[in-house]
Amino acid sequence: MSNPIIGGHVSSSGGIFSSVERGENIEAEAIQIFCSAPQMWRATKHTDDAIEKYREAFKKSKLSSAWIHNIYLANLATDDKAMLGKSKNSIKNSLSIADQIGATGVVLHTGSHKGRGFDAVSSQIIDSLQEILSDTPKPPVLALENMAGQGGGIGASLSELGKLIRGVKSKRMAVCLDTCHAFAAGYDIRDTNGVDALFEEFEAEIGLDRLAVVHANDSLMDLGSNRDRHENIGQGFIGDEGFRALLTHEASAGIPFLLEVPGYPSEDGGKGEGPDIRNIRHLKSLRDG
């Protein structure tokens, strides 16, 4: 069995190519980046030169794969036409940049139905996803991320993600499994039994061949809280045993586990700056035994 790959989200400020060095600096084996400011609609322009520099740096690096996380503003479940158009454009932009830099795919928070219910919005989401895929180049995949279950977020259950993916009927549809979100949504992944049950449900509702990437985050909040608060690996309610069970399950073979954790404070007491060497090394130790 090939091991899971361990990496993390890194900043690409100063040029998209700078993310490669940041990934290597924290000993990541894979990276995730934003290709545009996550709280802004306006898409960041990447010059041909910046893309070329990224590709050169990536080729020379030890990184095995890269992912792009779409901006947070996008909502394919919105009832506002203009908002829906902007949302679709942001995802098309991310997928086309993924293609340019050779990233595996784009991770997407599908959106929120804001109380209208999943059934009221599912066909709009499916139509939108089909349009997005037909307007963007292969091969990058589009991975829908499971949600913590707050504010009408689409995809707190694996069955919702399965319904959308079956509806779109494309080989380019995939899933990003966020461990903190799953735990907050009520999936008890603190030990082997819970992790087995999660992957069994994943297989039944979606199919494990669609599992493309994991967001490896511990949870600051307890099981079923529906609150999305990430914690450093082993420091939250999921704990080391849960991550060991996730990393050693056969479903995780070859899958990138990307950290989106707060990180540890620096020695001079500064705030954590996101995924760091300490979290990466810790996750690797749980993988490698």
Alpha-carbon distance of 34 to 16, in angstroms, equals 9
The binder of Zn ion chosen from 160, 178, 218, 231 (CB under 5 A): 178
Determine the Cα–Cα distance for residues 45 and 277; give it in Å rounded to an integer: 30
Q: Rounded to the nearest whole angstrom, what is the least distance from the CB of residue 218 to Zn ion in the complex?
A: 11
Establish if 218 lies at the interface with Zn ion (CB under 5 A).
Answer: no
Segment lying near Zn ion (by CB under 5 A), choices 24-32, 132-140, 204-212, 215-223: 215-223
The answer to whether residue 210 forms part of the interface with Zn ion (CB under 5 A) is no
Tell whether residue 160 is a contact of Zn ion (CB under 5 A): no
Distance CA 93, CA 209 (A): 26
Of residues 160 and 178, the one with the C-beta less far from Zn ion: 178
In the bound complex, what is the minimum distance in angstroms from residue 180's beta carbon to Zn ion?
6
Which of 29, 228, 231, 276: binder of Zn ion (CB under 5 A)? 228
Q: Find the length of the chain.
A: 289
How many residues line the site for Zn ion (CB under 5 A)?
3
Cα(250)–Cα(117) distance, rounded to whole angstroms?
A: 34
231 is an interface residue for Zn ion by CB under 5 A: no
> CB under 5 A: which stretch of 35-43, 49-57, 171-179, 278-286 binds Zn ion?
171-179
Candidates 31-39, 77-85, 227-235, 245-253; binding stretch for Zn ion (CB under 5 A): 227-235
Question: Among residues 56 and 273, whose Cβ is nearest to Zn ion?
Answer: 273
Which residues have C-beta within 8 Å of that of residue 114, sequence separation ≥ 6? 77, 78, 79, 151, 152
| Long-range CB contacts for residues 149-153, cutoff 8 Å, separation at least 24 | 149/181, 149/184, 149/185, 149/186, 149/226, 150/184, 150/226, 150/227, 150/228, 151/112, 151/114, 152/77, 152/112, 152/113, 152/114, 152/115, 152/116, 153/109, 153/110, 153/111, 153/112
| Two tokens, residue 238 | 């999921």
Determine how many CB atoms are found less than 10 A away from the CB of residue 55: 15
Closest distance of CB 153 from Zn ion, Å: 10
CB of 228 to Zn ion, least distance (A): 4
Tally of CB atoms within 10 A around 223: 16
CA 232 to chain centre: 16
CB-CB contact of 233 with 272 (8 Å): no
Q: From the list 163, 215, 244, 249, which residue makes contact with Zn ion (rule: CB under 5 A)? A: 215
* Binding flag, residue 205, Zn ion (CB under 5 A): no
| Min dist. Cβ of residue 183 to Zn ion (A) | 11
Site map for Zn ion, 5-44, x if CB under 5 A? ----------------------------------------
The residue ranges that bind Zn ion (CB under 5 A) are 178, 215, 228
